[in-house]
């Protein structure tokens, strides 16, 4: 990958985190270019990472072996159509990190035979601890899959899905998932404050508890249910709290939330695909 040129179309947070992660992984800044219309973002990318910057999407794509589309889904159709001529007849890998854009629609906008990988990162990628799912459209080679995995692994873990339809569930789970945990942490801190704890202490304890629980789950060989049982003493405080959550329909509510997010992801994909 150190010899492959990568062009980022869009210089926002996701592109910024990927550029920083790739440079930390040893990719020379000279191999990276970002096309970004905002002059402040453009200057920041050039200053902080030493990458080439431009406002010309087509020129950046024409010089690259990999093109990362890091623009908002609402403008993806226009951006992709503007790149079609630059990518025609080439074996460029196109990676889209835009939620809700199906590979078939992207291929149509890009002019047909293009190797496309869809990526669904989440916001912890900004800290290098993201969880990304990848889908390779038909025609993507093994080497191109390796390149896509290398790029996204720069900001966290990477897993592949073989059915593109599963990307809607991925969006509901890990894409939107950080917000669910933020809500739970917020609710726990508010509840502890209502019990009399100072607000700053309640927030800190809720955050540290979430961090510790996540680390235990990641580092343990036990499954999640077993870990839950281990910290739930019969007749104790944890059992009382979990009983209240179960009585309130906690599991069903989470399932409903994921289902609604997945449905909304499909709706957005249908809407964007009409462009």
- CATH (domain of 221): 1.10.3730.10
What's the confidence (pLDDT) of residue 273?
Answer: 87
What's the confidence (pLDDT) of residue 15?
Answer: 95
Which residues have a Cβ under 8 Å from the Cβ of 233 and sit 6 or more positions away? 239
Higher pLDDT, 1 or 90: 90
What is the domain range of residue 71? 6-162
Q: Does residue 71 form part of some domain?
A: yes
Q: Can you state the angle between helices 103-110 and 250-273, rounded to 10 degrees?
A: 20
Q: Is the pLDDT of residue 22 over 80?
A: yes
Query: Which DSSP state fits 137?
Result: P
- Cross-strand partners of 133: 120, 159
Return d(Cα 199, Cα 196) in angstroms, integer: 9
Containing H/E element for 82? helix 73-87
Tokens at 12, concatenated: 């926002």
Shared domain check, 184 and 146: no
pTM score of the predicted model: 0.91
Q: Is the pLDDT of residue 3 over 80?
A: no
Shared domain check, 264 and 188: yes
pLDDT bin (cut points 50, 70, 90) of residue 10 is: very high
Tokens at 47, concatenated: 């200053």
Last residue of a domain, one of 162, 185, 218: 162
Q: Does residue 238 form part of some domain?
A: yes
**Mean pLDDT, rounded, for 40-44:** 96
Shared domain check, 134 and 16: yes
Q: Does residue 137 form part of some domain?
A: yes
Domain count, the chain: 2
Shared domain check, 222 and 130: no
Strands 130-136 and 115-120, bridge-based pairing: antiparallel
């Amino acid at each position: 990958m150190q010899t492959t040129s990568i062009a980022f179309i869009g210089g926002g947070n996701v592109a910024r985190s990927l550029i920083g992660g790739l440079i930390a992984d040893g990719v020379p800044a000279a191999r990276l270019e970002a096309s970004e219309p905002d002059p402040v973002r453009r200057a920041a990318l050039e200053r902080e990472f030493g990458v080439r910057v431009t406002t010309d999407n087509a020129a950046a794509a024409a010089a690259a072996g990999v093109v990362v589309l890091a623009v908002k889904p609402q403008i993806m159709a226009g951006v992709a159509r503007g790149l079609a001529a630059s990518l025609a007849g080439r074996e460029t890998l196109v990676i889209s990190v835009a939620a809700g854009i199906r590979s078939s629609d992207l291929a149509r906008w890009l002019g047909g035979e293009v190797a496309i990988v869809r990526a669904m990162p989440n916001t912890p990628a900004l800290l290098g601890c993201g969880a990304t799912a990848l889908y390779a459209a038909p025609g993507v080679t093994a080497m191109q899959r390796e390149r896509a995995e290398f790029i996204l692994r720069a900001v966290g873990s990477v897993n592949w899905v073989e059915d593109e339809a599963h990307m809607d569930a991925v969006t509901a789970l890990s894409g939107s998932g950080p917000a669910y945990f933020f809500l739970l942490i917020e609710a726990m801190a508010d509840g502890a404050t209502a019990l009399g704890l100072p607000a700053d202490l309640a927030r800190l304890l809720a955050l540290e508890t979430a961090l510790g629980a996540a680390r235990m789950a990641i580092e343990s060989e036990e499954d999640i249910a077993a870990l839950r049982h281990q910290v739930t003493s019969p007749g104790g405080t944890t059992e009382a709290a979990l009983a209240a959550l179960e009585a309130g329909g906690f599991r069903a509510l989470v399932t409903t939330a994921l289902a609604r997010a997945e449905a909304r992801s499909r709706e957005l994909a249908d809407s964007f695909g009409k462009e």
